[in-house]
Chain A
Amino acid sequence: MAKTEDRPTRRRSDRSPWNWLLLLPIVIPLLVPVFNRTDPTLFGFPFFYWGQLSFIALGVLTTTLVYQMTKGNRRA
């Protein structure tokens, strides 16, 4: 199989402890009873609405962080 490799390389993998961070933006937006409320309001938005819009930022932050932290994870 490893015909193109001259020396044995470390087995590649996409495992990383950083991947656990991805659970945050998966679990939090599904905890409906926690954010199904009006207060506190922000710019006239009930919490139900601005809270969920802010989860978008949470998703962006975690996926960016995981990408940056696992980028060098390729070859030995």
Chain B
Amino acid sequence: MPEGLQWTEIIVFSALFLLVTVMGFMAARWRRPEDLMHLDEWGLGGRNFGSWITWFLLGGDLYTAYTFVAVPALMFGAGAAGFFAVPYTVVIYPLLFLVLIRLWSVSHVRGFVTPADFVRSRFDSPTMALLVAITGIVATMPYIALQLIGIEAVLKGMGVEGELPIIVAFVILALYTYSSGLRAPALIAFVKDALIYLVIIVAIIVIPVKLGGWEVIFGAAEEKFSMNDGPGVLLPSTGQLQYATLAFGSALALFLYPHSITAVLASKDRNVIKRNMSALPAYSLVLGLIALLGFMAIAAGVEPIGTDGNTIVPVLFDQMFYDWFNGIAYAAIGIGALVPAAIMSIAAANLFTRNIYKEYLRKDATSRQEAQVSKIASLVVKLGAVAAIIFIDPQFSIDLQLIGGVIILQTLPAVALGLFTRWFHRGALIAGWVAGMSVGVWTVYTVKRVDPVSGEVIREHFAGSAFSLSNLGFDTTYTIYAGLLAIAANLLIVVIATYVLRAMKVPEGTDGTGLEDYFADQDDPRVKDIPEIVG
């Protein structure tokens, strides 16, 4: 157990933190544009990132500090169920291979910056676009707050108490994101990922050797999870449906998050995206190995700091590594929080600017004004996240993030399926969204956490996303990922309402995109370059 301030770690951590701060501010001049005051530049880094930058950017964006801290914590506490992160991040790339290139193409041709821009044009529906924007912002906010929990965990590991260091870190982050836009996280992502890969390679070699090999590690976990007739290091038969549906549902949800789409739209051409669908699984391997840190912590007899289960990785590193290397490991997690937090705040800010400010508050905003509004919105979003962590119970952010995955899934019919078909009626998409949101929030509300030993209810509501099918009257102990039920309800209503609205001859609006748009590549004309090509 660390006692008092760990100066060696603090010095290494601070030095690396200072390095990325300088890089963050310098990023404004990296691949310098003529004018940064345009959303394509500030918000999408010039829409010109090649395969390598995109790989680091998306890797830094999707595999967040919170993931690196929370997944091993879940393995430590719940065993095999925590390993869902692996099938989740395997399934996602083939699943989205065809989806993302279409989204990139149509956005490239039509100049879309956000998923809501696409929905507005495709379905001729500012209302559905507003719902997509609000859903995106609401789902993203707690996700940013969770990144702070990641930083908090390593600060605790260094014996640093209090909220001031987190506030300082986030204010610095807010300032360089303000000045450099998406270029800042893109540049910092190189450092973050280099550190993560270094730490994890050392960790999976050194720690098993010190503990006596993988048999010992899995043996310790087996022993822990076999108590009270537990399933050991495997899933109980009743947990399998939840495992598969959670992996699948989370994969569907991830690329609906505005921050994922922002990083995809920042890439240069379709091939960059396709190559990344093959290259990003390198991070999935790292995540799988990081997950196993949870079992290593069991074998090493790690005790979390206080009641904060998220501290098991910092404590494990503290027991296993020299102090200076420990500082690097902490910095990897800390910087790992900055990259996604920056991209998320930019994505949320773009949604606000394009789909709320320009749509409803100031229709004639120039691109300069758009960029300015976005910059300020990104500051507000980050301050909101800090306030959420300081003034509200962090558990609240975790709950909200859990709901966030469920609600962002409700934009699937409009955003993802909309790329393949315009069969849905715009009114039906709105009706489906309302149905999906209602089912989603209700199902998550019903989830209780029960103490496995005493059978007492520890938390009444929002204790996870595993919805008991017995709530629907089924005589079973099986659970299913709540998000999948919600999206099923959503799709059902979308289909029914489309038939009804069409029978009632309710106007469907005009599709603002053309079929060819979905296959366009970098060298194809953009609408804004050649206005006469429209129509």
Binding site for B on A (CB under 8 A): 1, 3-4, 11-14, 19, 22-26, 29-33, 36-38, 43-46, 48-49, 52-53, 55-56, 58-60, 62-64, 66-67, 71, 74
Contacts and interface: CB of A to CB of B under 8 A. Distances in A.
Contacts of B516: 1, 12
B320 interface: no
B288 interface: yes
A34 to B, nearest CB: 10
Given A44-B215, A63-B97, 7 more contacts: A30-B87, A46-B233, A48-B83, A48-B233, A52-B288, A58-B90, A63-B274
B80 A48 contact: yes
Contacts of A38: 232-234
Contacts of B367: none
6 contacts: A3-B532, A19-B97, A30-B244, A59-B284, A67-B271, A67-B278
Most buried by B among A23, A56, A58: A56
Contact of A56 (B215, B288, B518, B525): B288
A9 B213 CA distance: 61
Nearest to A24: B94
B37 to A, nearest CB: 30
Interface of B: 80, 83, 86-87, 90-91, 93-95, 97-98, 101-102, 213-218, 232-235, 237, 240-241, 243-244, 247-248, 271, 274-275, 277-279, 281, 284-285, 288, 292, 514-516, 518-519, 521, 525, 530, 532-533, 535
Given A14-B102, A22-B94, A67-B278, A32 B235 contact: yes
A36 B284 CA distance: 19
Contacts of A1: 514, 516, 533, 535
Contacts of A52: 83, 86-87, 90, 288
Nearest to A49: B83
Given A32-B244, A38-B233, A74-B521, A44 B217 contact: yes
Contacts of A23: 94
Contacts of A48: 80, 83, 233-235
A36 B241 CA distance: 12
A53 B288 contact: yes
Contacts of A36: 234-235, 240
B214 A44 contact: yes
Nearest to B221: A46
A68 B165 CA distance: 48
B233 A14 contact: no
B351 to A, nearest CB: 27
A53 B97 contact: no
Nearest to B98: A14
A52 B88 CA distance: 10
A64 B247 CA distance: 22
Given A29-B91, A62-B94, A67-B277, A56 B244 contact: no
A1 to B, nearest CB: 7
Nearest to A66: B97
B214 A43 contact: yes
B91 A60 contact: no
B234 A46 contact: yes
Contact of B274 (A37, A45, A56, A67): A67
A39 to B, nearest CB: 11
Nearest to A44: B214
B91 A25 contact: yes
A56 B94 contact: no
B201 to A, nearest CB: 15
Contacts of A64: 278
A63 B240 contact: no
Contacts of B521: 74
Contact of B86 (A11, A13, A53, A71): A53
A32 B240 contact: yes
Interface centre among B101, B214, B235, B292 (most CB of A within 10 A): B214
B94 A25 contact: yes
Contacts of A67: 271, 274-275, 277-278
A14 B292 contact: no
B525 A53 contact: no
A32 B535 CA distance: 49
A18 to B, nearest CB: 11
A25 B533 contact: no
Nearest to B288: A53
